[in-house]
């Protein structure tokens, strides 16, 4: 089949868990032809891929959100039908717009985004919203906020739509909306795979964000919920990585009969034979993590600082690239300020080779889905200390029916003391590390192998092809 994978802010521009997963996924399915429809933040990143694309990637369609700010071209007065007017009203109020009407408005009638935003109809609808929701907020501030929300969306849905038999989004948000656009315009089924719950992640970011005026935070949150609602409604199947994530999707409005769980899988054979680190005077802790705020590397550094004050023979190896330059500089400065001599930033490394140097690993993220780094560590017989995000506790302690035992320690996010205590417990006993590591290896071997995951997705594509009478082979 010809499958359009719709991605936002990940593959093929940056390294990371989702990107690694996507690259191996495409490589492992040579029977399908893939089109990449990728959304980036900045046009300066055009064609700057960090992966060599597999041979079964037939096309790459790039769109960049900052190009919306450079929109120009002929704008003309627009006249809307009553149905179009109602769809626009729901869009402006962040309600429940009829996206199919909006898609056709911008794809078939070729309405220019700026023609809409400068139309009398839009200004009238926007003024109505302001009067109802923001009577005491400056009109100019409200207009700037509304334009910031809608301009990227209008730009995206007015662009070229690649042709495919299936549109498979790897998140909700902007990517999910484009998948719905493709499905609508080419009468094709839509699938959704969520590694994390995108809308909840955006909600957490907006709550903490300093750039969002407090009076508009709820509106930004509503905006992303509105985008997710459409793909939850339109998708034929919606996959998640673990049971609690599926439950969240259902709570957010996705029909339960659509929702299925397909756990991540790792290439077990690459990891299970990695030898344990020989005994020496040091305990080496690894963190396979990008330097990004969501990974909360600063809390990791503080927790290691506390551990180092208790135990002198410990080293921390932070393995990963820089995702956020400013945040990375702050992390480096913090290490210098704390005078941590035994903390090493390795940059990106070959994890299989580097794992031989490690006794156990740590993950301090404030949001995750089902982290591949934890699965790889467990497959290599290295126990983990993680924050209780995503399904980390399930990976360490087992899902219902899993009787293998405990493969590490799970503590609340941003809890320095708890992280230091958990690391100290693993540092104290090599026997404990080996026992927990063996439990982790057995769990991955049974439940989280790459071949199992691929078989589940092949079955999903086959079911979609059968239901929609599609040709499965390339």
Q: Rounded mean pLDDT of 123-149?
A: 88
> Residue 124's pLDDT is what?
92
> Residue 138's pLDDT is what?
87
For 286, the 3-state DSSP assignment is strand
Residue with tokens 């026997």: 431
Does the pLDDT of residue 36 top 90, yes or no? yes
Does the pLDDT of residue 474 top 80, yes or no? no
Q: How far apart are CA 450 and CA 123, in angstroms?
A: 52
Instruction: Please state whether the predicted TM-score (pTM) of the whole model is above 0.95.
Output: no
pLDDT in tens, 407-426: 999 999 999 999 999 999 99
Instruction: List the domain boundaries for the chain.
Output: 2-70+160-265+452-468, 82-147, 268-448
> Residue 468's pLDDT is what?
96
**Per mean pLDDT, which range of 129-133, 157-161, 370-374, 396-400 is the poorest?**
129-133
> Residue 11's pLDDT is what?
95
Do the domains 2-70+160-265+452-468 and 268-448 sit in the same CATH topology, yes or no? yes
119/7: higher pLDDT: 7
Does the pLDDT of residue 472 top 70, yes or no? no
> Residue 422's pLDDT is what?
97
pLDDT in tens, 242-279: 999 999 999 999 999 999 999 999 999 999 999 999 99
Does the pLDDT of residue 436 top 70, yes or no? yes
**If DSSP states are collapsed to H, E and C, what string results for 58-109?**
EEEEEEEHHHHHHCCCCCCCCCCCHHHHHHHHHHHCCCCCCHHHHHHHHHCC
> Residue 473's pLDDT is what?
56
Does the pLDDT of residue 339 top 80, yes or no? yes
DSSP string covering 415-442, please? -HHHHHHHHHHHHH-HHHHHHHHHHHHH
pLDDT in tens, 46-77: 999 999 999 999 999 999 999 998 988 767 88
What is the CATH class of 268-448?
Answer: alpha beta
The tokens describing 273, both together, are 């034979």
Give the contacts of 314 (CB within 8 A, at least 6 positions apart): 282, 283, 284, 285, 304, 307, 308, 342, 423, 427
Residue 160 DSSP symbol: -
CB 377 within 8 A of CB 440: yes
> Residue 430's pLDDT is what?
96
> Residue 208's pLDDT is what?
84
Architecture of domain 2-70+160-265+452-468: 3-Layer(aba) Sandwich (3.40)
| Cβ neighbours around 59 below 10 Å, total | 14
Q: How far apart are CA 403 and CA 401, in angstroms?
A: 6
Handedness of CA 355, 360, 364, 365 (dihedral sign): positive
What's the mean per-residue pLDDT of the chain? 94
């Amino acid at each position: 089949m010809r499958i359009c994978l719709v991605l936002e802010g990940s593959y093929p521009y940056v390294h990371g868990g989702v990107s690694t997963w996507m690259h191996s996924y495409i490589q492992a399915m040579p029977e399908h032809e893939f089109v990449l429809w990728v959304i980036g933040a900045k046009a300066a990143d055009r064609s700057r891929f960090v992966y060599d694309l597999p041979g079964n990637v037939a096309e790459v369609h790039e769109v960049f959100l900052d190009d919306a700010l450079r929109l120009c071209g002929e704008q003309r007065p627009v006249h809307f039908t009553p149905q179009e007017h109602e769809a626009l009203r729901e869009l402006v109020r962040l309600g429940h717009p009829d996206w199919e009407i909006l898609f056709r408005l911008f794809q078939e009638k070729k309405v220019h985004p700026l023609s809409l935003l400068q139309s009398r109809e839009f200004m009238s609808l926007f003024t109505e919203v302001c009067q109802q929701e923001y009577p005491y907020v400056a009109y100019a501030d409200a207009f700037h906020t509304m334009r910031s929300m809608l301009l990227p969306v209008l730009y995206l849905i007015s662009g070229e739509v690649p042709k495919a038999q299936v549109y498979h989004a790897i998140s909700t948000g902007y990517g999910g909306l484009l998948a719905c656009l493709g499905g609508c315009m080419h009468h094709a089924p839509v699938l959704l795979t969520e590694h994390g719950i995108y809308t909840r992640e955006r909600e957490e970011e907006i709550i903490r964000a300093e750039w969002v005026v407090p009076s508009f935070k709820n509106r930004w949150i509503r905006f992303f919920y509105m985008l997710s609602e459409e793909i939850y409604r339109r998708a034929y199947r919606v996959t998640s990585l673990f049971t609690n994530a599926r439950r969240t999707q259902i709570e957010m409005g996705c029909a339960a009969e659509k929702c299925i769980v397909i756990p991540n899988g790792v290439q077990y054979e690459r990891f299970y034979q990695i030898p344990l680190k020989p005994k020496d005077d040091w305990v080496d802790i690894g963190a396979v993590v990008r330097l990004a705020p969501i990974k909360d590397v600063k809390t990791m550094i503080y927790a290691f600082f506390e551990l180092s004050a208790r135990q002198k023979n410990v080293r921390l190896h932070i393995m990963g690239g820089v995702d956020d330059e400013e945040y990375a500089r702050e992390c480096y400065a913090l290490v210098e300020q704390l005078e941590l001599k035994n903390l090493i930033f390795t940059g990106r490394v070959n994890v299989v080779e580097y794992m031989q140097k490690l006794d156990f690993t740590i993950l301090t993220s404030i949001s995750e889905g089902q982290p591949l780094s934890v699965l790889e560590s467990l497959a290599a017989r290295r126990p983990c200390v993680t924050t209780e995000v995503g399904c980390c506790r399930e990976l360490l302690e087992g899902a219902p029916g899993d009787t293998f035992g405990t493969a590490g320690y799970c503590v609340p996010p941003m809890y320095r003391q708890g992280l230091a205590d958990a690391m100290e417990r693993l540092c104290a006993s090599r026997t404990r590390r080996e026992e927990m590591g063996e439990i982790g290896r057995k769990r991955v071997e049974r439940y989280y192998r790459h071949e199992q995951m691929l078989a589940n997705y092949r079955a999903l594509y086959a079911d979609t092809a059968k239901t929609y009478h599609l040709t499965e082979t390339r």
